Amino acid sequence: MPAILVVGAQWGDEGKGRVIDGLAPQAHVVARYNGGDNAGHTVVAEGHTLRLHLVPSAVLHPHTICLIGGGVVVNPERLVAELDELAALGVDVEPGRIKLAANAHIILPTHRALDGARERARGRGALGTTRRGIGPTYADKAARVGLRAGAMADPEGFAEGVAELTKAHNRLLTKQFGMEPVSVKETAAAYYAYAQRLKDHLVDGSALVAETLAEGHTLLCEGAQGTLLDLDHGTYPFVTSSSAVAGGALTGLGFGPREVARVIGVAKAY
C-alpha cells in the first residue's frame, strides 16, 4: 500500500487529528512531517483527552509505529513531557514504537526567547506567532547552523553544541534586543538529560519510510497547520515557517510523489 497524506485545507484547527485517528487502523507507520509544538492535535478516546503537540495522533492505536519526521522542529522538553503523559495512561511509548528522525532540528530556549523578542520588536506589525521558537529554529536550519536530533546519540557532544548555539543566540538577545542572556550551563545540562532520554528513539526517518513502502505497508502522513499557513503558498507574512501543503510530506519525510495514493484535505465550516 502507498502513502496517504492528511493536510489542513485552511488555517489549521480543522480536525486533522480526528481524521488521522480514524485512518490509523489501516496504517503501519503514521508520520508527522512539518511544524513543531506550535501545532496541536486533540484526541478524545477511552475517557481521556490528549492534546498532542509532537507525537502523531495515532499513538493510541497500539499496532502503529509513530514517527516524528525530519521536517519537524522538536522541543525536547515538550516531547519528553508528552511521552511521560502517555506512559502514565498506559500507552506504549518505547523506542520501538515512538521514533524520532535524526534529521529533525532541535528547538532551544534561546530560539523561544528570540521568537518573543522579535514579535515585541514588531509592535503593531506583530505576526502573531506562538513564541515557541519555531521560526528561529527553521531560520537556523536554513542558515545551516542548527542542531539536529541525531546529535543526541552523543549526549556530551550534543550538550557542547547546545552550549555553543546558546552563546551565539545570547549575543543577539543582549546586543540587539537588550535582553538578559539565557543560562548556558543550565541549558546544556538540561539538554544533556533530554539526549539521554531520547537517544534510543532516534532513527533514519527516510529509511524507515522507504522500508515501510517497499514492504507494501501503508504510510499515513500527518500534516500540521494548514494550506493557508504554508510558508510559500499561504497568506504571507501571516504564515508558519514550514511547508504545510501536501508537498511538505515528501520533503519532510523523504519519499517520492509516485508513492502518494491519496491526499485528504480537511476543512471545517465557519
Whether 41 is catalytic: yes
DSSP state letter for 107: P
**Active-site hit among 37, 41, 105, 115:** 41
- Record the cell numbers describing residue 68, joined without a space: 516524528
Residue with cell 539538554: 191
Retrieve residue 83's grid coordinates: 511521552
Which class for 215: exposed (0-12), middle (13-18), buried (19 or more C-beta within 10 A)?
exposed
Residue 42: how many CB atoms within 10 A of its CB?
13
DSSP secondary structure of 162-190: HHHHHHHHHHHHHHTT-PPPPPHHHHHHH
Are 239 and 22 a contacting pair, CB within 8 Å?
no
Contact 194, 108 (CB under 8 A): no
Distance CA 98, CA 29 (A): 10
Catalytic residues: 13, 41
